[in-house]
Structure 1
Amino acid sequence: MKIFTKRKILVFFLLLVIFFILNFFNVKEFFYSFSEDIQTKLWKVNSNCELIENQKIISLIAENEELKGENTFLRESLGLKNYPEISLISGRIISKDYISDSILINTGSKDGVKVGFPVAINNNILIGRVSEVYDNYSRVKLLSSKDNLTDVSINGVVALAKGKGSELISLEMFPHDKDLKEGDLVLTSSLGGNYPAGLVIGKVKNPKKIDSEPFQFSEIEKPYNIFSIDRLNVLKVTTIFND
């Protein structure tokens, strides 16, 4: 009997609540308000997801533009503005061979490096060429490696830079009748097709002119110390250069 009475009280209480809701609230508005609240929350969640996704896309676009800008800056600073066919592969030195005047760098065939690609540092300074390529690293033969020959230009006059070993480079085959002065800038010539013209090799040091000799000679002072270099750029060339 007590259980039955409790049930009647419970039913009565529920009916009272329903009656109260029906009298004080519009049923349609009640359910609309309830569903609207849920829809609003779902819309906010969806909007937040879209916002995050858009932010990711914007971030990727900005990063891509930044990389493009950085590459353009590097190309222009390296004097490659007139060579749109050249792109840059950034790398670091991982080993230095003082005996053979060569270095190992941390970029290889997986990065697009190939034998013969020029290697430069800082603004526009050539240090050598890629001589061996492996999957993840490469060997660079420095300009100073013994008997290495590089076509150069001094004030428009073509000559040769010859590696002497031990980080030394000499200027050879400079015509006797041309003017050669201390401090003259030695630049790459594209005569041999190995390098773009205008990259810095160094400066003329201690020029020698002997009347009985058809050519003048000098040392070439490099604007760097290979032992202090860490970062560099491999020039990804796709063509033969001509002055």
Structure 2
Amino acid sequence: MQLLFAALHPFTSQRSFIMTPLRQRMLEDMGIRNLAENTQLSYLQQVSLYARHFERSPEALGPQEVRDYQVHLTKTRKLAPSSVSIATAALRFLYKVTLKRDWMPDDIPMPKKPFRLPVVLSPEEVAHFLACVDSLKQRTILTTAYAAGLRVSEATHLKVTDVDSQRMMLRVDQGKGSRDRYVMLSPRLLEALRSYWKIVRPKTWLFPGHIPGRPITTDAVGLACRKAQRAAGIAKPITPHSLRHAFATHLLESGTDVRRI
């Protein structure tokens, strides 16, 4: 049976989705609403896995199948609530927006995520961790993520022209929510960026990747982060996003106004 959504193995398969009317319509609906590219890819992937599970078109499925699939994700695959929420959001978009089904919100219930306080690194731990990053480029990008409180996707997409040393600002182009914004550029970060630039001499992207004309990937930064954590011997979980949490916490502890943070 040929599904309206072809299955795609997460992040590894080189096969593309079969272009079908339903997939095309959902893609157009997401584009009209200016959903982020990663969100669009995630939603398409989740709907494909859903269709593959039942081996039927999503158009032929209803609230009972959605419920059964959520039970499957929770009980059989034992996914975390956050992962089930991603699948649920994709199905809500498909049925509410693209297929325009007149269902009640409880027909596709959203799992409640448990609230957990993040494990925050101390300033000393951050300094020790960054010192263990063996690549200059990776150390500078992780330093930038911490010192400016950037998401890893924002740090990887910085351009040389985004560094405004006159106003002591970094321009973040199309960050989360497709919004441009400026963030603080501290003198120490500016010094680190200048030292990095003198050695690497990037032209367009501040942190270029291996593919000409493209920035470094977030996966490459994540790999460097894990490698540095092992070298640092820090038991706390460390991800690029951990540095963003540490940035906000350290500012708060230093007396910075919470509205400014």
TM-score by length of 1: 0.21
Name the structure where strand makes up a greater proportion of residues.
1
TM-score by length of 2: 0.20
Name the structure where helix makes up a greater proportion of residues.
2
The structure having more radius of gyration, on CA atoms, is 1
